[in-house]
Amino acid sequence: MKFALWVAYCKTPGCHTCHVAKIIGAHEGQRGYALPDDIPVLFDFQCQACGNRHTYTHADLKVQIQEFLPHYGPPEWW
C-alpha cells in the first residue's frame, strides 16, 4: 500500500532533509491533493538533522508518495 504525505525540505543549503508535515492517508491513485482550508499560513520548524530553524509557507509543502508510513520524528505540523 502506498501513502501520501505533505512534506517540506529543509531550507539550509546542503541539508535538504525531508520533513513530514502531515500524513494525508492511503494513496489510491489521486492526481492531486488540496491543502485543507484550516491550516496555518506559516510554519516554524527546526530541522533535526542540521539544527537550523526555518519558516515555511503553503508553497513549501509538496506531496510525496511512499510505500511506508514514517515511524519517527516530531508530531505533524497541523
Interval 40-66: pLDDT, tens: 999 999 999 999 999 999 999 999 999
34 occurs within a structural domain = no
Closest CA to 33 of 8, 61, 53: 61
Domain hosting residue 56, numbered range = 3-28+39-66
What pLDDT does 74 receive?
61
Q: Please, are residues 56 and 43 in contact by the beta-carbon 8 Å criterion?
A: yes
Where do the DSSP E strands lie in the chain?
3-9, 18-26, 42-46, 53-57, 62-66
Instruction: Give the pTM.
Output: 0.84
pLDDT tens digits along 15-47: 999 999 999 999 989 889 999 888 899 999 999
Residue 11 lies in a domain: yes
Count of domains forming the chain: 1
